[in-house]
Structure 1
Amino acid sequence: MTRTDKKVGYSPKGKLAAPAHDYTRETAASGVESALKILEGRWKLVILFHLFGGRVMRFSDLERAIPDVSQKMLIQQLRQLEADGIVHRTVYPQVPPKVEYRLTEWGQDLCPALDALLGWAAARPKA
Protein backbone atom coordinates (compact mmCIF):
# COMPACT_ATOMS: atom_id res chain seq x y z
CA MET A 1 0.00 0.00 0.00
CA THR A 2 1.26 3.45 -0.88
CA ARG A 3 1.92 5.83 2.00
CA THR A 4 0.31 9.22 1.71
CA ASP A 5 3.46 10.99 2.78
CA LYS A 6 5.19 9.62 -0.35
CA LYS A 7 2.74 9.40 -3.25
CA VAL A 8 -0.93 8.64 -3.47
CA GLY A 9 -1.72 6.29 -6.32
CA TYR A 10 -5.24 5.25 -7.18
CA SER A 11 -6.02 2.79 -9.89
CA PRO A 12 -9.71 1.87 -9.72
CA LYS A 13 -10.99 -1.20 -11.50
CA GLY A 14 -13.43 -0.89 -14.36
CA LYS A 15 -13.83 1.74 -17.02
CA LEU A 16 -12.32 4.47 -14.83
CA ALA A 17 -8.99 2.62 -14.72
CA ALA A 18 -7.68 3.94 -18.03
CA PRO A 19 -5.71 7.00 -16.85
CA ALA A 20 -3.51 5.85 -13.98
CA HIS A 21 -2.16 8.82 -12.06
CA ASP A 22 0.49 9.17 -9.44
CA TYR A 23 -0.48 11.99 -7.15
CA THR A 24 1.63 13.83 -4.66
CA ARG A 25 0.01 15.11 -1.49
CA GLU A 26 -0.29 18.54 -3.06
CA THR A 27 -1.78 17.42 -6.38
CA ALA A 28 -4.16 15.02 -4.63
CA ALA A 29 -5.35 17.77 -2.29
CA SER A 30 -5.80 20.13 -5.23
CA GLY A 31 -7.72 17.50 -7.21
CA VAL A 32 -10.03 16.73 -4.30
CA GLU A 33 -10.63 20.44 -3.77
CA SER A 34 -11.58 20.83 -7.44
CA ALA A 35 -13.94 17.85 -7.28
CA LEU A 36 -15.61 19.16 -4.13
CA LYS A 37 -16.10 22.59 -5.71
CA ILE A 38 -18.06 20.93 -8.52
CA LEU A 39 -20.24 19.03 -6.03
CA GLU A 40 -20.66 21.77 -3.42
CA GLY A 41 -24.17 22.96 -2.88
CA ARG A 42 -26.79 21.69 -0.51
CA TRP A 43 -28.91 19.95 -3.15
CA LYS A 44 -26.47 18.75 -5.81
CA LEU A 45 -25.79 15.34 -4.28
CA VAL A 46 -29.49 14.80 -3.65
CA ILE A 47 -30.22 15.61 -7.29
CA LEU A 48 -27.47 13.21 -8.42
CA PHE A 49 -28.86 10.35 -6.33
CA HIS A 50 -32.28 10.83 -7.92
CA LEU A 51 -30.75 10.69 -11.42
CA PHE A 52 -28.38 7.74 -10.92
CA GLY A 53 -29.01 4.56 -12.87
CA GLY A 54 -29.82 6.29 -16.14
CA ARG A 55 -33.00 7.77 -14.73
CA VAL A 56 -34.55 10.64 -16.70
CA MET A 57 -36.65 13.08 -14.70
CA ARG A 58 -38.70 16.11 -15.58
CA PHE A 59 -38.22 19.27 -13.56
CA SER A 60 -41.58 18.79 -11.83
CA ASP A 61 -40.59 15.21 -10.88
CA LEU A 62 -37.42 16.50 -9.25
CA GLU A 63 -39.46 19.14 -7.39
CA ARG A 64 -41.74 16.43 -6.00
CA ALA A 65 -38.82 14.11 -5.19
CA ILE A 66 -37.02 16.86 -3.23
CA PRO A 67 -39.83 18.70 -1.44
CA ASP A 68 -37.59 20.86 0.78
CA VAL A 69 -35.81 22.59 -2.12
CA SER A 70 -37.17 25.85 -3.49
CA GLN A 71 -37.83 26.11 -7.21
CA LYS A 72 -35.19 28.84 -7.53
CA MET A 73 -32.53 26.75 -5.77
CA LEU A 74 -33.35 23.62 -7.79
CA ILE A 75 -32.99 25.62 -11.01
CA GLN A 76 -29.64 27.07 -9.86
CA GLN A 77 -28.23 23.69 -8.81
CA LEU A 78 -29.35 22.01 -12.05
CA ARG A 79 -27.83 24.81 -14.14
CA GLN A 80 -24.51 24.48 -12.31
CA LEU A 81 -24.51 20.70 -12.76
CA GLU A 82 -25.29 21.19 -16.45
CA ALA A 83 -22.52 23.79 -16.86
CA ASP A 84 -20.06 21.38 -15.21
CA GLY A 85 -21.01 18.59 -17.64
CA ILE A 86 -22.61 16.32 -15.03
CA VAL A 87 -26.26 16.73 -16.04
CA HIS A 88 -27.74 16.90 -19.54
CA ARG A 89 -30.85 19.03 -20.05
CA THR A 90 -33.26 18.29 -22.88
CA VAL A 91 -35.89 20.89 -23.78
CA TYR A 92 -38.82 19.78 -25.92
CA PRO A 93 -40.41 22.55 -28.02
CA GLN A 94 -44.02 22.19 -26.95
CA VAL A 95 -46.63 23.97 -24.89
CA PRO A 96 -46.48 23.63 -21.96
CA PRO A 97 -42.67 23.35 -22.00
CA LYS A 98 -41.23 19.94 -21.23
CA VAL A 99 -37.70 19.77 -19.79
CA GLU A 100 -35.97 16.53 -18.84
CA TYR A 101 -32.74 15.96 -16.93
CA ARG A 102 -30.40 12.99 -16.97
CA LEU A 103 -26.81 12.37 -16.00
CA THR A 104 -24.12 12.49 -18.61
CA GLU A 105 -21.81 9.48 -18.84
CA TRP A 106 -19.24 11.41 -16.81
CA GLY A 107 -21.92 12.22 -14.23
CA GLN A 108 -22.94 8.57 -14.05
CA ASP A 109 -19.28 7.71 -13.29
CA LEU A 110 -19.76 9.44 -9.93
CA CYS A 111 -22.02 6.63 -8.71
CA PRO A 112 -19.29 4.24 -7.46
CA ALA A 113 -17.42 7.07 -5.73
CA LEU A 114 -20.53 8.32 -3.92
CA ASP A 115 -21.54 4.75 -3.11
CA ALA A 116 -18.13 4.24 -1.48
CA LEU A 117 -18.62 7.49 0.46
CA LEU A 118 -21.97 6.23 1.75
CA GLY A 119 -20.34 2.97 2.84
CA TRP A 120 -17.60 4.89 4.60
CA ALA A 121 -20.13 7.05 6.44
CA ALA A 122 -22.20 4.01 7.43
CA ALA A 123 -19.13 2.33 8.93
CA ARG A 124 -18.52 5.25 11.30
CA PRO A 125 -17.79 4.00 14.80
CA LYS A 126 -20.51 4.83 17.29
CA ALA A 127 -19.31 7.15 20.05
Structure 2
Amino acid sequence: MRRAAPDPVIEAQRRGPIPDDVDPAIEALVNDIIGKVADKWTMLVLEALDAHGTLRFTQLGKAVGRISQKMLTQTVRQMERDGLVRRRVHPVIPPRVDYTLTPLGRSLGAAFCGVWIWAETHHAEIERARRAFAAAEASDLTADAETP
Protein backbone atom coordinates (compact mmCIF):
# COMPACT_ATOMS: atom_id res chain seq x y z
CA MET A 1 0.00 0.00 0.00
CA ARG A 2 1.36 3.39 -0.91
CA ARG A 3 2.08 5.81 1.87
CA ALA A 4 -0.60 8.46 1.88
CA ALA A 5 -0.60 11.93 3.37
CA PRO A 6 -2.63 12.05 6.57
CA ASP A 7 -6.11 13.53 6.34
CA PRO A 8 -6.01 16.82 8.34
CA VAL A 9 -9.63 16.44 9.50
CA ILE A 10 -9.02 12.94 10.85
CA GLU A 11 -5.74 13.98 12.45
CA ALA A 12 -7.43 16.92 14.21
CA GLN A 13 -10.14 14.63 15.58
CA ARG A 14 -7.58 12.05 16.69
CA ARG A 15 -5.65 14.68 18.65
CA GLY A 16 -8.81 16.08 20.23
CA PRO A 17 -10.48 14.91 23.41
CA ILE A 18 -12.14 11.51 23.51
CA PRO A 19 -15.90 12.03 23.44
CA ASP A 20 -17.87 10.99 26.53
CA ASP A 21 -20.70 9.48 24.50
CA VAL A 22 -20.38 7.32 21.42
CA ASP A 23 -23.12 7.56 18.83
CA PRO A 24 -24.51 4.00 18.50
CA ALA A 25 -25.01 4.48 14.75
CA ILE A 26 -21.33 5.42 14.32
CA GLU A 27 -20.24 2.52 16.52
CA ALA A 28 -22.33 0.11 14.42
CA LEU A 29 -20.88 1.55 11.20
CA VAL A 30 -17.32 1.23 12.49
CA ASN A 31 -17.90 -2.39 13.51
CA ASP A 32 -19.47 -3.12 10.12
CA ILE A 33 -16.64 -1.47 8.15
CA ILE A 34 -13.91 -3.15 10.21
CA GLY A 35 -15.61 -6.49 9.69
CA LYS A 36 -15.61 -5.98 5.94
CA VAL A 37 -12.23 -4.34 5.55
CA ALA A 38 -10.53 -6.79 7.88
CA ASP A 39 -11.37 -9.34 5.21
CA LYS A 40 -8.13 -9.96 3.34
CA TRP A 41 -9.75 -9.82 -0.09
CA THR A 42 -11.12 -6.33 0.46
CA MET A 43 -7.71 -5.06 1.49
CA LEU A 44 -6.03 -6.75 -1.48
CA VAL A 45 -8.57 -5.31 -3.94
CA LEU A 46 -8.13 -1.89 -2.34
CA GLU A 47 -4.36 -2.19 -2.67
CA ALA A 48 -4.50 -3.43 -6.29
CA LEU A 49 -6.77 -0.59 -7.41
CA ASP A 50 -4.70 1.95 -5.49
CA ALA A 51 -1.53 0.73 -7.18
CA HIS A 52 -2.88 0.23 -10.71
CA GLY A 53 -5.82 2.63 -11.05
CA THR A 54 -8.70 1.39 -13.19
CA LEU A 55 -8.63 -2.36 -13.84
CA ARG A 56 -10.81 -4.74 -15.79
CA PHE A 57 -12.30 -7.61 -13.81
CA THR A 58 -9.76 -10.17 -15.09
CA GLN A 59 -6.85 -7.78 -14.53
CA LEU A 60 -8.06 -7.13 -11.00
CA GLY A 61 -8.23 -10.86 -10.32
CA LYS A 62 -4.66 -11.30 -11.53
CA ALA A 63 -3.44 -8.32 -9.48
CA VAL A 64 -5.06 -9.71 -6.33
CA GLY A 65 -3.89 -13.27 -7.04
CA ARG A 66 -5.31 -16.58 -5.83
CA ILE A 67 -8.90 -15.32 -5.59
CA SER A 68 -11.80 -17.18 -7.15
CA GLN A 69 -14.08 -15.34 -9.57
CA LYS A 70 -16.95 -15.84 -7.13
CA MET A 71 -15.05 -14.28 -4.22
CA LEU A 72 -13.78 -11.41 -6.39
CA THR A 73 -17.34 -10.73 -7.58
CA GLN A 74 -18.66 -10.75 -4.00
CA THR A 75 -15.85 -8.51 -2.79
CA VAL A 76 -16.14 -5.84 -5.48
CA ARG A 77 -19.95 -5.81 -5.22
CA GLN A 78 -19.73 -5.23 -1.47
CA MET A 79 -17.12 -2.52 -2.02
CA GLU A 80 -19.35 -0.93 -4.67
CA ARG A 81 -22.33 -1.06 -2.28
CA ASP A 82 -20.25 0.74 0.38
CA GLY A 83 -19.14 3.37 -2.12
CA LEU A 84 -15.49 2.28 -2.17
CA VAL A 85 -15.29 1.33 -5.86
CA ARG A 86 -17.02 2.44 -9.02
CA ARG A 87 -18.05 -0.26 -11.48
CA ARG A 88 -18.31 0.77 -15.10
CA VAL A 89 -19.87 -1.43 -17.76
CA HIS A 90 -18.86 -0.61 -21.34
CA PRO A 91 -21.56 -1.36 -23.93
CA VAL A 92 -19.43 -3.57 -26.15
CA ILE A 93 -19.54 -7.23 -27.11
CA PRO A 94 -18.28 -9.05 -25.18
CA PRO A 95 -19.16 -6.76 -22.24
CA ARG A 96 -16.23 -5.03 -20.61
CA VAL A 97 -16.41 -4.14 -16.93
CA ASP A 98 -13.81 -2.17 -15.04
CA TYR A 99 -13.35 -0.97 -11.50
CA THR A 100 -11.85 2.18 -10.01
CA LEU A 101 -11.46 3.35 -6.43
CA THR A 102 -13.74 6.21 -5.48
CA PRO A 103 -12.43 9.09 -3.37
CA LEU A 104 -14.01 7.30 -0.39
CA GLY A 105 -12.10 4.12 -1.27
CA ARG A 106 -8.85 6.05 -1.61
CA SER A 107 -9.42 7.67 1.79
CA LEU A 108 -9.96 4.22 3.35
CA GLY A 109 -6.68 3.10 1.79
CA ALA A 110 -4.99 6.13 3.32
CA ALA A 111 -6.47 5.30 6.72
CA PHE A 112 -5.18 1.74 6.58
CA CYS A 113 -1.81 2.95 5.39
CA GLY A 114 -1.19 3.74 9.07
CA VAL A 115 -1.54 0.03 9.90
CA TRP A 116 0.97 -0.78 7.17
CA ILE A 117 3.44 1.77 8.54
CA TRP A 118 2.91 0.46 12.08
CA ALA A 119 3.61 -3.12 10.92
CA GLU A 120 6.70 -1.98 9.05
CA THR A 121 7.96 -0.05 12.08
CA HIS A 122 7.37 -2.88 14.57
CA HIS A 123 8.12 -5.88 12.37
CA ALA A 124 11.31 -6.88 14.22
CA GLU A 125 9.63 -6.57 17.64
CA ILE A 126 6.72 -8.73 16.56
CA GLU A 127 9.04 -11.39 15.13
CA ARG A 128 11.07 -11.44 18.39
CA ALA A 129 7.88 -11.79 20.43
CA ARG A 130 6.66 -14.63 18.22
CA ARG A 131 9.97 -16.49 18.50
CA ALA A 132 9.98 -16.03 22.29
CA PHE A 133 6.37 -17.26 22.52
CA ALA A 134 7.13 -20.31 20.34
CA ALA A 135 10.21 -21.13 22.45
CA ALA A 136 8.24 -20.81 25.70
CA GLU A 137 5.43 -22.94 24.27
CA ALA A 138 7.92 -25.61 23.17
CA SER A 139 9.51 -25.52 26.63
CA ASP A 140 6.08 -25.97 28.25
CA LEU A 141 5.34 -28.95 26.00
CA THR A 142 8.68 -30.53 26.86
CA ALA A 143 8.07 -30.01 30.59
CA ASP A 144 4.56 -31.48 30.27
CA ALA A 145 5.94 -34.53 28.44
CA GLU A 146 8.53 -35.13 31.18
CA THR A 147 5.98 -34.88 34.02
CA PRO A 148 4.74 -38.38 35.01
Q: TM-score range by the shorter chain?
A: 0.7 to 0.9
Amino acid at match of 2:64: I
1:2-33 Cα shifts (integer Å, max 9, x gaps): xxxxxxxxxx643x459958643763892642
Distance 2:37 2:67 in 1: 16
Q: TM-score, normalised by structure 2?
A: 0.65
Q: By how many angstroms is 1:63 displaced?
A: 1.4
User: Which residue of structure 1 aligns with residue 109 of structure 2?
Assistant: 111
1:57-108 Cα shifts (integer Å, max 9, x gaps): 0001011112210000000000000000001000001101100100111111
CA RMSD of aligned residues (A): 2.8
Amino acid at match of 1:27: V
Q: 1:24 aligns with which of 5, 14, 19?
A: 19
Indicate the structure with greater strand content.
Answer: 1
User: Which residue of structure 2 aligns with residue 45 of structure 1?
Assistant: 43
Q: Secondary structure at the match of 2:98?
A: strand
Q: Extract unaligned runs of 5+ from structure 1.
A: 1-11
CA gap 1:53/1:26 in 2 versus in 1, 3 angstroms: farther
Question: Share of identical aligned residues, percent?
Answer: 31
Higher relative contact order (CA 8 A, sep 6+): 2
Q: Secondary structure at the match of 1:36?
A: helix
Q: Extract unaligned runs of 5+ from structure 2.
A: 1-5, 130-148
